[in-house]
């Protein structure tokens, strides 16, 4: 039996951090260092490749676009799967952007650690072992990029970081697609539809700035005025199923005339409604005024999607069609 070839790409993050007591940690380890902590695989050959060496908070959309270019061509290099290691702060954004930018190819798995390797009980090696098992198995090739963490497999479009310190900080609104047990992935589900890929070159070549604002009780829309003239689009994390205080409506109407505005829920779980509530500032009122439903996407993912769509030159109708077709915003 031929051995699987898996590329391990390191971007930094907690999994690669070391430091002196009392001074904090920072990313110092490269991909080859991460692999040195793993046992030898009987059926997998691992190739390390250091791509970035930064905290998760430092990764830019340009970094992710360059990463998408690289992993999109690994099949031509003979690799059967890719594991990306990075900081957990932005794992959900990286995985989701790869879902939009990489068309087919070998499985892509994104992972990291909550405990740095200089502390007792670091979880990086276990997560890396599980991720290699998933990537080498090929079981997620049709699903698209996944996040493997704490023995669970999560789809890129559903996963969220929901805890600051837990060893299992990631959850999905649908639950995990499967688990990794005894070094073997056990898959139970897969998403129904995957969005069509966008060209990763647009990340570097296009220019679009998208704001993300969260609505709170008593919000008067003051911050919306700062968006006009400074950004190309807005993602609004509204209350409940897509509601805002009525005082925000006039400012939103002005914004819609000049840029696409995606309507999401700040709950991060469940779809934006369309025809249930009818008061000023309700989801029906806002959609009738030209806001675009973000469907079930949470704010950070909707911002990634809108930024990439704008950089690809999509207009309001094209953006609305993508949201309706792929993210559950069906009229």
Domain holding 53: CATH number? 3.40.50.1170
200 in a structural domain: no
**Residue 206: per-residue pLDDT:** 61
User: What's 283's domain CATH number?
Assistant: 3.40.50.40
**Residue 279: per-residue pLDDT:** 97
Rounded Cα distance, 122 and 151, in Å: 14
**Residue 313: per-residue pLDDT:** 86
Burial class (CB in 10 A: 0-12, 13-18, 19+), 68: buried
Same domain, residue pair 20 and 147: yes
Rounded Cα distance, 219 and 222, in Å: 8
80 in a structural domain: yes
Torsions phi, psi of 262, nearest 5?
A: -90, 135
290: left (phi over 0), alpha (psi -120 to 50) or beta: left
**Residue 195: per-residue pLDDT:** 73
278 in a structural domain: yes
**Residue 331: per-residue pLDDT:** 45
Same domain, residue pair 20 and 80: yes
Torsions phi, psi of 174, nearest 5?
A: -95, -5
246 in a structural domain: yes
Range of the domain at 269: 207-326
Same domain, residue pair 241 and 153: no
Rounded Cα distance, 260 and 189, in Å: 34
Same domain, residue pair 166 and 213: no
Number of domains forming the structure of the chain: 2
Helices (H), 72-156: 91-101, 124-137
**Residue 201: per-residue pLDDT:** 56
Catalytic entry in 14, 85, 88, 171: 14
Q: Which of these three, 187, 218, 244, is where a domain ends?
A: 187
Q: Quick check: is 140 catalytic?
A: no
Q: Which of these three, 132, 159, 187, is where a domain ends?
A: 187
Please report which helix (H) or strand (E) contains residue 287, including its range: helix 283-288
44 in a structural domain: yes
Same domain, residue pair 140 and 180: yes
**Residue 202: per-residue pLDDT:** 54
Same domain, residue pair 113 and 16: yes
Contacts of 201 (CB under 8 A, 6+ apart): 65, 69
Same domain, residue pair 183 and 233: no
What are the per-10-residue average pLDDT scores of the chain (331 residues)? 90 94 90 89 90 96 92 90 97 96 92 94 94 95 95 96 96 94 94 71 69 95 90 97 97 95 95 95 97 96 94 90 80 45
Same domain, residue pair 26 and 167: yes
Same domain, residue pair 114 and 255: no
194 in a structural domain: no
């Amino acid at each position: 039996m031929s051995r699987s070839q898996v590329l391990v790409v390191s971007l930094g993050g907690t999994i690669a951090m070391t430091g002196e007591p009392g001074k904090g940690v920072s990313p110092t380890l490269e991909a080859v260092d991460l692999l040195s902590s793993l046992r030898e695989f009987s059926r997998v050959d691992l190739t390390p490749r250091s791509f970035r060496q930064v905290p998760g908070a430092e990764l830019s959309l340009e970094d992710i676009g360059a990463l998408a270019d690289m992993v999109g061509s690994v099949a031509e290099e003979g690799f059967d799967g890719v594991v990306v290691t990075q900081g957990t702060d932005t794992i959900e954004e990286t995985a989701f952007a790869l879902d939009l930018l990489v068309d087919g190819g070998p499985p892509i798995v994104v992972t990291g650690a909550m405990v740095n390797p200089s502390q007792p009980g670091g979880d990086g090696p276990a997560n890396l072992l599980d991720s290699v098992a998933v990537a080498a198995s090929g079981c997620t090739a049709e699903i698209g990029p996944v996040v493997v963490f704490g023995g669970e497999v999560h789809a890129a479009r559903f996963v969220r970081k929901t805890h600051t310190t837990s060893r299992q900080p990631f959850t999905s609104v649908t639950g995990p697609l499967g688990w990794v047990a005894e070094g073997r992935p056990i898959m139970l589900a897969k998403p129904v539809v995957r969005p069509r890929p966008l060209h990763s070159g647009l990340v570097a070549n296009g220019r679009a700035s998208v704001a993300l604002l969260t609505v709170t009780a008593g919000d008067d829309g003051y911050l919306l005025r700062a968006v006009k003239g400074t950004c190309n689009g807005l993602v609004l994390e509204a209350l409940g199923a897509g509601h805002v205080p009525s005082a925000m409506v006039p400012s939103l109407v002005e914004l819609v005339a000049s840029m696409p505005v995606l309507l999401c829920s700040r709950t991060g779980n469940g779809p934006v409604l369309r025809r249930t509530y009818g008061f000023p500032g309700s989801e029906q009122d806002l959609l009738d005024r030209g806001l675009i439903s973000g469907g079930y996407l949470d704010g950070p993912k909707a911002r990634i999607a809108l930024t990439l769509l704008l950089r690809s030159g999509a207009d309001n109708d094209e953006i609305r069609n993508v949201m309706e077709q792929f993210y559950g915003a069906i009229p």
